[in-house]
Structure 1
Amino acid sequence: MQALSKNFFLFLSNNSALDRMAKKWGPKFGANQIVGGETFEEAVPLIQQLNNQGLQLTVDHLGEFVTSEAEAVKRTQECIDAIKTIHSHQLNSQVSLKLTSLGLDIRKDLVWDNMEKIMEEAARLDVTVTIDMEDSTRTQQTLDIYKGLKNKYPNLGTVIQSYLYRSTDDLEDLSPYDPYLRLVKGAYKEPGTVAFTEKAQVDENLKKLIKQNLLNGHYTAVASHDDAIIDFTKLFARNNNIPKDQFEFQMLYGMRNQTQLDLIQEGYKVRVYLPYGTDWYGYFMRRLAERPANVAFAIKGIFKK
């Protein structure tokens, strides 16, 4: 049943007609419960509010798979503007981005030039940037770009997905770069030739990756809403004398709010992933696909007054 549910929402995430409807009627379908606003400036008061609660942020301008060079340049400037806004408002926030929004599927030199422009500004203003991971066909390109930039820009992170068979090897390959990594389960529809298909396998591999990266001495962002993963991380860190400043928990805006605050009270660092923009539909469907419990949240959000 869970596999059917995941496949159903992943199918819906690629439905262009529903995507257009969502952009038009977003607020009526609970978009304001999961998205910080249509622009980054709209999200600033919310970020300040979350910062005041002790939460740190990472923001992401929604949208991917850009096919126009002009659009890729526009998305690049949006990232730069977000970095400047974080600095000017003194927000405790990082920036996440997708390479397909910067021209990965157009030309390698285009996405490279756009990333360097972003990282130059991020380095100047001391803002951390994380390259999000997309589907498995783009994993190697993403990691190659990350490694090519990391030595020049230490404030650069990326993502490893536990549902991919290759992730253990990728983690070891990245170790010499002293990586800042966000470890996630993964939210794209992947064939069994490259990815685990059973939730239990994905969960166990995520635990393995958490142990591996922490024992390698690298900063680790554990991005999960699952209590079992959170409790595993806390226990493993205690048993292995890993300090709380070597890792953080990451959760999505609007989900498990009380858990986020409880973790802060326990002395853990918590970062909230806050997307903004109008292109929220595909993002939301993938969140429903990766965790069926999110469906109840969605229904509540839609009908909330």
Structure 2
Amino acid sequence: MEALNKSFFLFLASRPSLDRFAKRWGSKFGADKIVGGETFEHAVPLIQNLNSQGLRVTVDHLGEFVASEAEARERTLECLQSIRMISAHDLNSQLSLKVTSLGLDINPELVWENMIQIMDEAVKHDVFVTIDMEDSSRTQATLDLYKALKKKYNNIGTVIQSYLYRSDQDLDDLNEVKPNLRLVKGAYKESAKVAFPDKSDVDHNLKLLIKKHLLNGNYTAIASHDDAIIQYTKELVREHGIAKDQFEFQMLYGMRSERQLELLAEGYTVRVYMPYGNDWYGYFMRRLAERPANIAFALNGLFKK
């Protein structure tokens, strides 16, 4: 049933025809509970509220797969504005972005130029930037771009997905640049040729990646709502004497808020991933696919008066 639910919502995520309907009625499905608003200005008070509780944030302007250079440059300007707003409002927030929104599929020179602009601005305002990982067809290009940028900038990280067979080797290949990585299970529909089809294997591989990356001495963001993964990390760092400033837990905005505060009270660093923008449909459907409990959350929003 879990596999069926995941396939169903990933199918919906790929339907452009549903996007217009979703944007109109999204709040009825609870989208406004997991998205920080249509603009960064809408997200600012929400970020400030999280910061006031001791939670850190990473913001992401939703959108991917742009079709033109003009669109890619517009998304770049949005990233630049987000960085400036983080600084202007003195927010404890990082920036996450998807390089397909900056022109990865259009022209390698275009995405490089756009990333250089973003990173120069991020350095100026002391903002950390994470390159999100997308589907497996773009993994190598994303990692190549990250490694090239890491040679120029220290304030940049990326993401490794445990459902991909290749991820253990990717971790080894990246270790030479001492990467700051967010480790996740993965949320895109992938073939069994490239990804573990069974959840138990995905979970096991995530534990292996967490252990390897932490023992390599690298900063690690464990991005999971899974209590088994969280508990594993706690026991691992305790066993190996790993300091709490070498890692953090990350969770999605609007999900497991009480658990976030519990971890914070235990002395762990907790960062909340807050997307914003009106291009939220694919993101929302992938969240439903990732975690069955999110389906009940959406239905509750639909029928809530």
TM-score normalized with structure 1 length: 0.99
> 1:300 Cα deviation (Å)?
2.0
Matching residue of 1:166: 166
> 1:304 Cα deviation (Å)?
3.4
Matching residue of 1:19: 19
Matching residue of 1:201: 201
> 1:282 Cα deviation (Å)?
0.7
Amino acid of the structure 2 residue aligned with 1:143 = L
Matching residue of 1:190: 190
> 1:299 Cα deviation (Å)?
1.6
Which deviations, in whole Å up to 9, do the C-alpha atoms of 1:142-195 show, x marking residues without a partner? Answer: 000000000211000000000000000000111111111000000001001111
> 1:254 Cα deviation (Å)?
0.5
Matching residue of 1:285: 285
Matching residue of 1:54: 54
> 1:303 Cα deviation (Å)?
3.1
State the SS of the aligned residue for 1:190: coil
Consecutive unaligned residues in structure 2, runs of 5 or more: none
Amino acid of the structure 2 residue aligned with 1:144 = D
Partner Cα distance (2:210, 2:300) in 1: 32
Matching residue of 2:246: 246
Q: Contact 2:56/2:272 (CA < 8 Å) preserved in 1?
A: yes
Partner Cα distance (1:303, 1:35) in 2: 19
> 1:302 Cα deviation (Å)?
2.9
Which aligned pairs between 1:45-124 and structure 2 lie closer than 5 A?
45-124=45-124
Which deviations, in whole Å up to 9, do the C-alpha atoms of 1:274-303 show, x marking residues without a partner? Answer: 000001111011011111111112222333
Give the RMSD, CA atoms, in angstroms. Answer: 0.8
Partner Cα distance (1:255, 1:140) in 2: 30
Q: Contact 2:59/2:274 (CA < 8 Å) preserved in 1?
A: yes
> 1:30 Cα deviation (Å)?
1.6
Which aligned pairs between 1:215-254 and structure 2 lie closer than 5 A?
215-254=215-254
Amino acid of the structure 2 residue aligned with 1:181 = L
Amino acid of the structure 2 residue aligned with 1:246 = Q
> 1:5 Cα deviation (Å)?
1.0
State the SS of the aligned residue for 2:254: coil
Partner Cα distance (2:136, 2:28) in 1: 33
Partner Cα distance (2:103, 2:56) in 1: 29
Partner Cα distance (2:147, 2:252) in 1: 27
> 1:125 Cα deviation (Å)?
0.7
Partner Cα distance (1:302, 1:239) in 2: 45
State the SS of the aligned residue for 1:284: helix
> 1:31 Cα deviation (Å)?
1.7
Amino acid of the structure 2 residue aligned with 1:79 = C
Partner Cα distance (1:35, 1:45) in 2: 13
Consecutive unaligned residues in structure 1, runs of 5 or more: none
> 1:27 Cα deviation (Å)?
2.1
Matching residue of 2:154: 154
Q: Contact 2:30/2:297 (CA < 8 Å) preserved in 1?
A: no
